Amino acid sequence: MEIKRYLPLFKLRICSLITFSAIVGLIAAQSKDFTFGKLMFLVIATMLASTSASAFNHYFDSDIDSIMKRTKKRPLPAGGIISSRTVLGIAAVLFAASLLVSFKALNPMVAVHLALGAFVYAIVYTVWLKRRSWLNIIVGGLAGSFAVLAGGASVNPEFCMPPALLAIVMFFWTPSHFWSFAIFHKEEYEKAGVPMLPVVIGDSRTALYILINTVLLVASSLVPYFLGYNGPIYLVAAVAVGVYFIVWNIRLLKNPTKDIAWKNFKISMMYLGILFSSVIVEMGFKALLRVI
């Protein structure tokens, strides 16, 4: 029961997505140094770094979390058994554990990427930009990109182009994903004084920004294919889900309601899941062909 009260600190769904992105980065590197041991330690290190960043986010945002209906039941604003000092301590321990696992079981570059990802989310996004600028989520999106780079670095510490290209895709995906979410929760962000894009420029113009960004996202997703790093399975997935996502963006532009914004938000998660899964499927298919 006590553990259950701590779990919301870690935003496990988001952390699972970040960890999945790191796994895709590892697979995309196409390295002969791949082992299931490295995969396991990458998962552990990434989850530790992600949960650490999430706990830091809870610590720094506890005041505005208490204002918004969506977040007021989180452990700190709800006034449960958890103190701010305890949350800060948990976050620090998780961060240190991530670095230790990265250095000992993987390599320093993995530790650097995971540390940068956690720093961007916890400090650059949460502390510096979230309450100051609508650019917050654009810069904050780098946190997910660093996870992809960490995955690539786990088997290839030197610069590796395929994970880097997918990190760019992840960077463009984040605004389209989050701005749809922000339209749905616009009134809450406005009440808390958080300058998310819909609060600053309105829902209609935000929908236009989402469409423009998604076009850039889909274009960036095609680059790995045209540079020869991914094959037809990836191309079909990228085009199919990309067109589908753009269609829903156009629907949101024509009718920027909360209902369509929420559907757009859900579709953005489906988009990334299918696109990144196609990388794993294609690399697995290539490996199978080599064995045959």
- Which amino acid is residue 82, in one-letter code? I
Domain boundary (156, 191, 217) is at: 156
Question: What pLDDT is recorded for position 81?
Answer: 64
Residue 150 sits in the same domain as residue 30: yes
- Whose structure tokens read 């920004």? 209
Asked if residue 267 and residue 246 are part of one domain, the reply reads yes
Q: In this structure, are 174 and 255 located in the same domain?
A: yes
Q: Which of 242, 238, 246 shows the shortest CA–CA distance to 279? A: 238
**pLDDT of amino acid 1:** 43
Query: CATH number, domain at 261?
Result: 1.20.120
Q: Which domain holds residue 225?
A: 160-292
* Residue (of 223, 283, 213, 286) closest to 253 by Cα position: 213
Q: Are residues 5 and 149 in the same domain?
A: yes
Q: Are residues 217 and 200 in the same domain?
A: yes
Rounded to two decimals, the pTM is 0.95
Would you state the pLDDT for residue 18? 97
Three-state SS at 213: helix
Q: Are residues 56 and 173 in the same domain?
A: no
Q: Cα dihedral sign for 282, 284, 286, 289?
A: negative
Residues 60 and 101 in one domain: yes
- Number of domains the chain contains: 2
- Is 206:197 a contact under the CB 8 Å cutoff? yes
Residues 270 and 152 in one domain: no
| Helix/strand/coil percent split, the chain, to 5 | 80, 0, 20
Q: Is residue 20 domain-shared with residue 118, that is, in the same domain?
A: yes
Same domain, 109 and 195: no
Positions in the chain whose pLDDT score sits under 70:
1-2, 80-81
What gap in Å lies between CA 146 and CA 163, rounded to an integer?
Answer: 10
Q: Do 108 and 148 fall within a single domain? A: yes
* The last residue of a domain, from among 99, 122, 156: 156
Q: What is the pLDDT of residue 110?
A: 97
Domain match, 167 and 53 both: no
